[in-house]
Amino acid sequence: MSEEQKCIKCAAKLSWIGLWVSVFLAFFKGVVGIFTGSRALTASALYSLHDVISGAAVIIGLRIATRPADEEHPYGHGNAEYIVCVFTSILILGVTVFLLGDCIRIIFRGEHAPPHWAALGAAVISVFANELIYRYNICAYKHLNSPALLAHAKHHRADVISSLAVVVAIMGSAMGYRFLDALVAVFEAGHLIFLSVEIFYQGGSGLIDCAIQGSDISLIRQVLSDTSDVKEVRDIKTRQIGRRVWVDLYVCLPPEKTIAEVNAISGQIRQSIENRIEYLGNVNVFCE
């Protein structure tokens, strides 16, 4: 039991440690990459920046987004998480495209001095730091079986691989394969564009009120068809505000019931939906 508690504590700390390590690496690799002229290392710095943002979005999601609704924000603060995702992913996308253009220019011109050896040092530090965080994450994941930890671990593994590629690129360019540095950078930038677009799409569709997944909607439908008083379901509208699911139901109830009875029925529907769906924000039942 105490073993497990230790693991929980360790995991709670890990997300913070991982975040700060990524912040440090992003800055460190970025500065070294720019000064030594290694495009591959600069791209790898963007990778770490990407980790910082996804980590920070999770923390913001947990902190701000779970704040309850208030006067100013009657629907809660859930969308803050999406906004952070959208705006930062656009920033990363912009920088990455810029870097990609630069690399392609270098490859076509064929004039690229091999980066300074300092870049190699930075890449090696990044490999070891990320591998360490990865090991810790995997250990915590095995003990606690949390998918979030596995996702974190995978991020750091990807960082290890990208930094290893940088090591290869820098050594390769020093040995005479000059284009290797830019080539590795192109691959990393390409992958990063893919990742940022993915984050952007998720955040963006959340912001324009995307419906929840179909299986949850059919769960709601199931609840409504189990309730005998519901004569007809006109419409089910759902949207996700951050982590919470908001549901608007438009149903027809028997017109001869009194308002008190109607209220009891909608309370019952609300309760049974609450039992089925995690992270419920609010359920409104509208009679038509």
Partner 1 sequence: MIAQRCINCGKKVEWIVLGINFGLFILKGSFALLSHSKSLLTDSFQSLANFIITIVVLTSLRMASKGADEKFPYGYGKVELLASGIVNMLLMIAAIVFIFVSFTQIIMVGPEKPPKLVAILAAGISIIANYIAFGYGRCAGEKLGSTAILANADVSRADVATSVAVIVAVVGSNLGFSRLDHIVAIVICVLIIKVTLGGIKKAIKGLMDVSLRSEEQHIRNLVEDIEGVQCVGDVKARFAGRSLWVDVNIFVPADWVLSRGLETVRKIKNVLRRKMKGISDVSVQLLPFVGADDHGYRARYSSEKTKRE
Query: Which C-beta is closer to partner 1: that of 4 or that of 274?
Result: 274
Q: What whole-number distance in Å separates Cα of residue 153 and Cα of residue 158?
A: 9
- Tell me how far, at minimum, the Cβ of 101 lies from partner 1, in Å: 15
If binding is defined by CB under 8 A, does position 204 make contact with partner 1?
yes
Q: What whole-number distance in Å separates Cα of residue 266 and Cα of residue 120?
A: 65
If binding is defined by CB under 8 A, does position 232 make contact with partner 1?
no
If binding is defined by CB under 8 A, does position 69 make contact with partner 1?
yes
Q: What whole-number distance in Å separates Cα of residue 34 and Cα of residue 76?
A: 42
Question: What does the DSSP assignment read for 123-164?
Answer: HHHHHHHHHHHHHHHHHHHHHH--HHHHHHHHHHHHHHHHHH
Which member of 5, 108, 109, 260 binds partner 1 (CB under 8 A)?
Answer: 260
Q: What whole-number distance in Å separates Cα of residue 40 and Cα of residue 219?
A: 48
Query: Which C-beta is closer to partner 1: that of 68 or that of 110?
Result: 68
Which member of 58, 124, 210, 233 binds partner 1 (CB under 8 A)?
Answer: 210
Closest CA relative to residue 85, chosen from 277, 264, 243: 243
- Tell me how far, at minimum, the Cβ of 25 lies from partner 1, in Å: 24
Closest CA relative to residue 230, chosen from 252, 248, 260: 252
If binding is defined by CB under 8 A, does position 198 make contact with partner 1?
no
Task: Give me the residues that bind partner 1 (CB under 8 A), please.
Answer: 68-69, 71-77, 79-80, 82-83, 86-87, 90, 94, 204-205, 207-211, 235-239, 241, 248, 250, 253-260, 262-263, 281-282, 284-288
